């Protein structure tokens, strides 16, 4: 017989935390041990599932963008996890390929990076770019080829942006997976990208996923931050995300969900 949840299980509707689980003696009921194991397996698989960069590039091209595949200097997942420095730099081959593609300066470089969750990129990157497309078109930005990068960390966008002579880089990346959020995508926005930028010089829109920030809301925030970054010629701690304020004043803008994304460096 399975031990029931605790009598205060109604409180569980107030939080995603695992409360009122019930117990057998001092220990978890079998169903909770298995539910936890499944969540951990999903998060582990999000980290280790090989990144399908070809499929991701194909999905993005279907939107009408040009793409370019790139790799970091981390040759495999084990190296990537141990050596964050290598995940921040382009491989020599990729560097040359990007240099050849960089014909003229552009306003915007966009990088899609696997980061710590290829699952998140597979699930959300193309869809988010689809939502961003009208924002980009409306602003009339010149966009470089969308770079689909494997074994890549956030700072890889600095080198890509520098080579593509971009005023601004937007990097979409699979975030460190949590048990309740194995497929969360983040967007990092950096003005005047070049190797050596610090995280304090970026803005971030986090938690883009089904149960988090919607594509429309994320695209609105990213578009707002990109416009402000190009206008003020900076990103980072000096650029405060006040896109919510603008939404309140503009009834035609897409509505934001109740849970706002958290800006972090």
Partner 1 sequence: MRYRKTLGATTWTFDSLAQVMAKASPLRSGDMLAGIAAGSAQENVAARMVLADTPLTAFLAEPLIPYELDDVTRLICDTHDEAAFRPVAALTVGGFRDWLLSEAATSEALAALARGLTPEMAAAVSKLMRNQDLILAASRCRVTTRFRDTIGLPGTLAVRLQPNHPTDDLAGITASILDGLMYGCGDAVIGINPASDSLGVIGDLLRLTDDLIRRFEIPTQSCVLTHVTSALQLIERGAPVDLIFQSIAGTEAANASFGVTLALLQEGLEAGRSLKRGTLGDNVMYFETGQGSALSAGAHHGIDQQTLEARAYGVARAFEPLLVNSVVGFIGPEYLYDGKQIIRAGLEDHFCGKLLGAPLGVDVCYTNHAEADQDDMDTLLTLLATAGVTFVMGVPGADDVMLNYQSTSFHDALYVRELLGLKRAPEFEAWLARWQITRSDGRLAPARAGHALLEGFS
Cβ atoms of residues 30 and 4 within 8 Å:
no
Phi and psi, residue 164, nearest 5°: -80, 5
Q: By C-beta, is 43 or 164 nearer to partner 1?
A: 43
Q: Three-state SS for 181?
A: strand
Verify binding: residue 259, partner 1, rule CB under 8 A: yes
Q: What mask, x for binding partner 1 by CB under 8 A, covers residues 201 to 240?
A: ------x---------------------------------
CA–CA gap between residue 175 and residue 183 (Å, rounded):
8
Verify binding: residue 40, partner 1, rule CB under 8 A: yes
Q: By C-beta, is 176 or 227 nearer to partner 1?
A: 176
Q: How far is the CB of 240 from partner 1 (least distance, A)?
A: 12
Between vectors from CA 259 to CA 146 and to CA 149, what angle results, nearest 5°? 20
CA–CA gap between residue 157 and residue 118 (Å, rounded):
17
Verify binding: residue 180, partner 1, rule CB under 8 A: yes
Range 78-117, binding partner 1 (CB under 8 A) = 81-85, 116
Verify binding: residue 183, partner 1, rule CB under 8 A: no
Within 10 angstroms of residue 3's Cβ, the number of other Cβ atoms is: 16
CA–CA gap between residue 229 and residue 240 (Å, rounded):
10
Verify binding: residue 2, partner 1, rule CB under 8 A: no
Residue from 2, 19, 246, 265 touching partner 1 (CB under 8 A): that is 19
For residue 149, the cross-strand partners are: 70, 113
Cβ atoms of residues 149 and 172 within 8 Å:
no
Q: How far is the CB of 257 from partner 1 (least distance, A)?
A: 11
Residue from 63, 130, 176, 230 touching partner 1 (CB under 8 A): that is 176
Verify binding: residue 31, partner 1, rule CB under 8 A: no
Phi and psi, residue 239, nearest 5°: -105, 105
Residue from 36, 49, 52, 63 touching partner 1 (CB under 8 A): that is 36
The DSSP secondary-structure symbol of 174 reads E
Residue of 253, 245, 175 whose CA lies nearest to 208: 175
Q: How far is the CB of 68 from partner 1 (least distance, A)?
A: 27
Q: How far is the CB of 2 from partner 1 (least distance, A)?
A: 15
The DSSP secondary-structure symbol of 20 reads -
Continuous segment of H or E residues that includes residue 208: strand 202-208
Residue from 101, 127, 139, 179 touching partner 1 (CB under 8 A): that is 179
Q: By the criterion CB under 8 A, which residues form the site for partner 1?
A: 6-8, 10-12, 14-23, 25-28, 32, 36-37, 39-40, 43-44, 46-47, 81-85, 116, 176-182, 207, 259-260, 262
């Amino acid at each position: 017989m399975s031990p029931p949840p605790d009598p205060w299980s109604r409180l569980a509707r107030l939080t995603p935390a695992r409360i009122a689980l019930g117990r057998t003696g001092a220990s978890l009921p079998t169903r909770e041990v298995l539910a936890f194991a499944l969540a951990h397996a999903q998060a582990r698989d999000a980290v280790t599932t090989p990144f399908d960069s070809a499929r991701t590039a194909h999905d993005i091209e279907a939107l009408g963008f040009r793409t370019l595949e790139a790799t970091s200097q981390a040759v495999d997942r084990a190296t990537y996890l141990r050596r964050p420095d290598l995940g921040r730099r382009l491989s020599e081959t990729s560097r040359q390929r990007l240099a050849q593609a960089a014909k003229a300066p552009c306003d915007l470089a966009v990088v899609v990076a696997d980061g710590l969750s290829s699952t998140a990129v597979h699930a959300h990157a193309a869809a988010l770019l689809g939502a961003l497309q009208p924002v980009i078109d409306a602003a009339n930005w010149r966009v470089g080829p969308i770079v689909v990068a494997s074994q890549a960390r956030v700072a890889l966008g600095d080198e890509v942006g520098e080579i593509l002579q971009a005023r601004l880089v937007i990097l979409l990346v699979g975030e460190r997976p949590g048990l309740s959020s194995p497929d969360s995508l983040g967007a990092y926005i950096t003005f005047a990208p070049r190797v050596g930028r610090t995280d304090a010089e970026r803005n971030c829109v986090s938690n883009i996923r089904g149960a988090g920030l919607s594509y429309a809301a994320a695209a609105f925030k990213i578009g707002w931050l990109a416009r402000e970054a190009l206008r003020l010629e900076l990103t980072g701690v000096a650029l405060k995300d006040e896109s919510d304020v603008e939404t309140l004043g503009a009834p035609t803008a897409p509505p934001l969900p109740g849970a706002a994304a958290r800006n972090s460096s």
